[in-house]
Amino acid sequence: MSSGSPTSGAGRVIAGRYLLLRRLGSGGMGHVWLAHDQRLACEVALKEIVFRDGSEAGPEREARVARARAEARHAAGLRGHPHVVTVHDVLEHEGLPWIVMEYVRDAVDLRELVDRRGPLAPAECARIGLAVLDALAAGHERGVMHRDVKPANILLAPDRTGAPYGRVLLADYGISVQPDADETRYTMASVLVGTAGYLAPERASGGPPTPAADLFSLGCTLYYGVEGRGPFERASYVAAITAAVMEEPRPPARAGALEPVLRGLLVKDPHLRITPLEAEAALSLIVTPQSDAYERTRTDPGSPSPWEAHAPGAGVPAFGSAPVPEVSTPPGADGFGPTWTPDLALTPGWSVRGPGPGTGGAGAAVSPPAYRRRPRRRLLRAALAGGLGVVLALSGVWYALADRTSDGTAAPYGEAVGLVEPLQDGDCVLADWPGAVRFSGTPRLTLDPTCREQAPDGQVVAFVEAASADEAREQGPARCEERTRELRDRLADVRSHAVVPTEAGFGAAGRRTACLVLGAHGPVYGPLGERRRFGTPFADISTMQRRDCLDVRTNRDARLVACGGPHDEQVLGFTRLGDGVTLAEARTESDAACARDVPPRDYGFDPSVYEAGSWTSAGPWKSGTHVVVCTVRKQNGGTMEGTEP
């Protein structure tokens, strides 16, 4: 490996003031950009309306523009709410509206967090639910329904104490509506508004948006947080909609004390659904199971989160805060919860994240909806449902233990795969493909315990659970694609592969599919993503990922270091050279190719100070992919510091 000497719109200036630095995310309405406010010298997020092409139908174009203006107007009504992304302004540039929003630094959405860490502890989900419920109630009091509550629209960011996920924000009021207001509707009546699997059954059946419908979506979201999948998750959009209307949610296995609340929120009949006041009281009891639980109705974005006071070795509350009482629910499957110790060495490049495509808000004040209290028998029924869930969970444990062959030697993934023990998180593997054709057929896998010496083909980076072997076979590959997408997007040349258990080996495999990330055309030569350690030299560019910071010892020795400290280069992206370019030629041409294809100025780096750099290695030339890693460095060879620019 050696260092050599997408048209995104980055670098544009919007309304003569906002310099676009990089794209943070995309959604149905358009893109969200990280931008630099040149007037106030601060970072903001800009939401851009994007059309499929210039000939998009006039009425649809007008409707989408009008929806953007309505979003900003609704969000302005909740300006300053601690659990809603703040909207600063709405402006027009070249005839189209742009929404100027708060940039939430170091944020990650709930979907990404569960993908990365696994299901959350019930108490942590309850804390998140309280904050989102608070934001929804503020909107409902103004007559504004969110209509798209889902994990991707809940941002978690560090609070004032530094707790990594202490701040909870509801984002994206892009399809919100005031049913009682005299404003134009911008959605066709024949189109379902919302996300399949999180849409309330009455909305899927054509009913009006109501606070109860938002609560159903919140129930689906919290179910996802504690279980790692949605209650009505299915293989297709239509199947998910049908399940929400016709089927009961899957019995939760990890919800614990949260289960009665989930069942109350997921009642099909909106008139029998748990009320916001009941949900708030029940969630508060899970977060703070003491007599003062009912006093904790609104969470402070600066308050310490439950895990902070319970980190191993924490003898006194951090930062002088009040102690957090013990909770009766166990931590999540991967230790995420009240006793989880935050990993301060997250992979560089995952440490800065802005809001997803949208923001939260509300519109003009109207009479608040009447929240009706349910009889006490409703809570009793929910408690009984919780007991039933425990029975079902115990039955599942029995089934998992019983699902073995008589001699206990069932291979978890079948004879073709060849493994006699189930894969574990972080396992590096060698893959022998039938006919030596990669990603064709079922590979025979062997473990590489060192993750280096044998040049592994890939690594286990996630798992997806299933209720049956049939479900694992039908849904495992697609769910692995989703669970590994973020990591794959940061690497140059990898693919996802699902190792699905067989019917006989389903119990031995732990009732879950192993999700691998494998080199698309060759080995990966080492650990991937956050499984790498700072200070480790790169054996090949295949494990370098976007936003990595590098300590360059020589032109053949680069090491991964934290971006918060001194470093010599930062990875911006990748490019490819032509088939006829030799590796020796690449080492002289790659800098120019990166300056052309991945210019640092598109990422906000001043071209008078910074220049493009590059790294190549033999692996991509052996595989024929000719991938080059593109970096940014100072022209004078100086050290970069912190989060430049």
Question: By mean pLDDT, which of 342-351, 469-478, 572-581, 587-596 is the weakest?
Answer: 342-351
441 and 301 together in one domain: no
171 and 93 together in one domain: no
- For residue 5, is it within any domain? no
On the 0-12 / 13-18 / 19+ scale of CB atoms within 10 A, 378 is middle
Domain range for 351: 109-182+191-310+320-402
**CA 213 vs CA 13, 155, 186, 190, 245: distances in Å:** 40, 21, 19, 18, 12
496 and 549 together in one domain: no
Residues 256-288 have pLDDT tens digits of 999 999 999 999 999 999 999 999 999 999 987
515 and 538 together in one domain: no
232 and 273 together in one domain: yes
At residue 382, does pLDDT exceed 70?
no
Residue 634 labelled as part of a binding site: no
For residue 436, the SS3 value is helix
- For residue 68, is it within any domain? yes
- Which tops the pLDDT comparison, 51 or 503? 503
Q: How many structural domains is the chain composed of?
A: 4
At residue 19, does pLDDT exceed 90?
yes
- For residue 479, is it within any domain? yes
List beta partners, residue 560.
550
28 closest CA partner among 73, 60, 76, 72: 60
261 and 140 together in one domain: yes
User: What is the pLDDT at residue 321?
Assistant: 29
Residue with tokens 């016709």: 246
At residue 213, does pLDDT exceed 90?
yes
Cα Rg of the chain, angstroms: 25
- For residue 413, is it within any domain? no
82 and 163 together in one domain: no
**If you write DSSP's letter for every residue of 458-512 in order, what string do you get?**
EEEEEEEE-SSHHHHHHHHHHHHHHHHHHHHHHSSSEEEEEEPPPTTTTTTTTSE
Residues 181-210 have pLDDT tens digits of 433 333 433 344 568 899 999 988 888 888
- For residue 643, is it within any domain? no
User: What is the pLDDT at residue 72?
Assistant: 62
**CATH at residue 138:** 1.10.510.10
Look over the chain and give the mean of its residue pLDDT values, rounded to a whole number.
76
**CATH at residue 71:** 3.30.200.20
176 and 215 together in one domain: yes
User: What is the pLDDT at residue 592?
Assistant: 94
**CA 450 vs CA 188, 310, 459: distances in Å:** 57, 33, 12
- For residue 390, is it within any domain? yes
Q: Compute the 3-state secondary structure of the chain and give helix, strand, coil in percent, each to the nearest 5.
A: 30, 20, 50
Confidence of residue 5 (pLDDT cuts 50, 70, 90): very low
User: What is the pLDDT at residue 49?
Assistant: 72
Could you give the residue numbers annotated as active site?
Answer: 148
User: What is the pLDDT at residue 105?
Assistant: 87
How far, in Å, CA of 605 to CA of 297, rounded?
44
Domain endpoint, select from 101, 136, 165: 101
Confidence of residue 353 (pLDDT cuts 50, 70, 90): very low
Inter-axis angle of helices 110-117 and 211-227, nearest 10: 20
Question: By mean pLDDT, which of 55-69, 377-391, 425-439 is the weakest?
Answer: 377-391
- For residue 435, is it within any domain? yes
506 and 567 together in one domain: no
How far, in Å, CA of 564 to CA of 572, rounded?
16
Residues 48-103 have pLDDT tens digits of 876 655 555 455 556 656 666 665 666 666 767 889 888 787 788 887 778 888 89
101 closest CA partner among 186, 13, 169: 169
At residue 307, does pLDDT exceed 80?
no
User: What is the pLDDT at residue 96?
Assistant: 78
Confidence of residue 224 (pLDDT cuts 50, 70, 90): very high
Rounded to two decimals, the pTM is 0.46
How far, in Å, CA of 369 to CA of 373, rounded?
13
499 and 363 together in one domain: no
Residues 528-555 have pLDDT tens digits of 988 999 998 998 999 999 989 999 998 8
133 and 251 together in one domain: yes
At 113, the amino acid letter reads L
302 and 436 together in one domain: no
Residues 440-496 have pLDDT tens digits of 889 999 999 888 778 899 999 999 999 999 999 999 998 998 889 889 989 999 999
Residues 101-145 have pLDDT tens digits of 889 988 999 999 998 888 999 999 999 999 999 999 988 888 888
User: What is the pLDDT at residue 558?
Assistant: 94
Domain endpoint, select from 101, 128, 161: 101
Question: Which DSSP state fits 193?
Answer: -
User: What is the pLDDT at residue 461?
Assistant: 94
Domain endpoint, select from 386, 402, 418: 402
- For residue 411, is it within any domain? no
